[in-house]
Amino acid sequence: MTFENENPFALRSTLEYEMPDFSRINDESYLPAFYAGCEEQLGEVHDIIKQADVTFENTVVAMERSGQLLMRVLTVFYNKSSSDTSDRLDEIEEEVAPKLAAHMDAIRLNQDLFGRIKHLHENRDSLELNNEDAWLLERYYMDFTHAGAHLTDAQREELKGLNEELSKLETLFGKNLLADTNDLAVEVDDVAELDGLSENEIAACAAAANARGLEGKWLVGMVNFTGHPLLSSMKNRGLRERVMKNSLLKGNCDVKDNRIVIQQIVKLRAKRAELFGVKTHAEHVLQDRNAQNPENVHKMLKQIAPAAVRNARAEGADLQKAIEASGENFKLESWDWDFYTEAVRLEKFNLDTTAMRPYFELERVLHDGVFFAANKLFGISFKERKDIVTYHPDARAFEVFNEDGSKLALFIGDFYTRDSKRGGAWMNNLVDQSHLLGQLPVVVNNLNVPKPPAGQPTLLTYDEITTLFHEFGHTLHGMLSDVKYPRFSGTSVERDFVEFPSQVNEMWLTWPEVLDNYAKHYETGEKIPQEWVDNLKAASTFNEGHATTSYLAAAILDLAWHSLPADATVADVEAFEAKAIADYGLDYGPVPTRYRSTYFSHIFAGGYSAGYYGYIWSEVLDADTVDWFKENGGLTRANGDHFRNTLLARGGSINSMQMFRNFRGRDATIEPLLKRRGLL
């Protein structure tokens, strides 16, 4: 059989929405398709270069058409390896990572190809391009120069070696972290230790233990960030301490030690930055972001940090009083924070978020909350397609329609945690929207909600609902994309802009019309008590000192690592972390950083290096946008259409900050964010 007949990636899928044919895809499909895809794209690049004339169509547009086979296999592979990996997929990723880096360098550092793009860029005013075409040319020129196409021959050769080595190390970081996260799950022998947890939570712990062959025991699996959602209701202080301390150890064990990997990554990234004529990785990265340079990031963060830690210390004082009022005399520690926060929240606001969980059942939140809000705003509707085969039995497909009944997208929801899934929550595309290629989007959301035993409802925490709305905001950005070129599809925007639409979508989870529709008791159908809703709003800034301080500490760690020059030596990772956080005035023992370096996959195994600040940078835009919605009537089709047409549908096809101005009518201000977080 030929490759075209044998391999499911060889040709564009004939399934609806060009959904990958998961009934045919297996572990052995990936490598042949990957190598064939690389060869095919290099051939396409060769065909571009050999043409005598240089036009926008035969160079830039031709590049947009290239690499389709490679894109088909990579989108499926990286979604599968992050959401349902295996030893074989890990082996494949280790093989693919350096070769993919080399392949991208072979294109981005190709002098003949760059010469054509540079020629077009220098003569852009005479090309009579429309706005999207002109921006595509601008982005291609920036992509190639930022990748190093303008460097000398010797520098480009050195750069290739650095990129290849970095790809190996970043893959190793993620592999170490997943293995360590699984190994550090806390085993519980006596159910009495789980006092305070709900029946469903205890059942989920039992199911997790059974999945590992630990019959008659319970397992508290680790999550990707510091701490654990169960700490808020876990009465046993000793168990809380074990869970918290294990969460802080991820990637920090002798066998799977990411401390060594981090130092190698940081040094190589700094060496790479030197090739570009700057001293640090942060300087290089931020040249191509809205922030432009590290100084602008620090300027913004320093407006927030002092008030954040001041509020956190005040919150800690209240928690210490609650500890003493309960008859205990120990000093507040990080593993006590969530538990006593619930006690103080109950005392101050008569609000018990754990009691809300029966009103937050997954199916109702999804259909009557997330989908309902999207329908009210954008007129889109959803239909589950159980006939569509996905990459895992837990991953469910929903067809999405425009208001006129036309097809818009396919949405895949994969909500449950498993040992083969990396921690956290994220959005991927399996197919990018593009008019050039005639493609509608296929978008995936991954969460890590504990799966209850069969037949039991999935009751979400308030934080898990927030995550669901947040990730679906990314999905909307992908699904509502209406651009010509794949380079601009959906979330293909700057890292310090990409979180903005997803954070805006969080506003709808407490919007009265939406909350009334989904927050109903899973057994009785009774609506969540209005008093609880009122108290929830009254407590909107409660614990924001902790949340902001924890986040800022992680953002500062990211900047600290990536502000090191290549000749710097870090003898002790823990000491480096402590100093970086203390220098910013964010050192407060009961509030550890949201991510320690050894499990900070955003920056060492993802695309957020020198960019984790982007969440709060984007939140400035988000908070200002929420104010706009409130000023203009909230959840209306007119507002949704304006947000869709000026921003979501545009993807990356115009400058991000200009896109925001087109939507808002002005630049964003920071005051709405400071007010939201109680930092004024």
Q: Phi first, then psi: give them for residue 673, nearest 5 degrees.
A: -65, -45
d(CA 563, CA 283): 8
Query: Residues, the chain, total?
Result: 680
d(CA 410, CA 443): 6
Measured CA distances, 617 to 555, 581, 610 (Å): 11, 19, 13
Q: State which H helix or E strand residue 657 sits in.
A: helix 656-664
> Which pair of tokens denotes residue 411?
């949405």
Return the ∠ at Cα 27 (arms to 23 and 29), rounded to 5°.
75
What is the number of other CB atoms lying within 10 angstroms of the CB of residue 26? 10
Helix 495-505 to helix 656-664 angle (10° resolution) is: 30
> Which pair of tokens denotes residue 481?
């994309």
Q: Phi first, then psi: give them for residue 70, nearest 5 degrees.
A: -60, -40
Q: How far is CA 663 from the centre of its chain?
A: 24
Place of tokens 């989870």: 509
Give the active site residues: 471
Residue type, 83: S
DSSP assigned state of 366? I
Enumerate residues 6+ apart whose C-beta is below 8 A from 457: 200, 361, 362, 522
d(CA 539, CA 464): 18
Enumerate residues 6+ apart whose C-beta is below 8 A from 101: 163, 164, 166, 167
Cβ–Cβ < 8 Å for 15, 439: no
Q: Phi first, then psi: give them for residue 533, nearest 5 degrees.
A: -65, -45
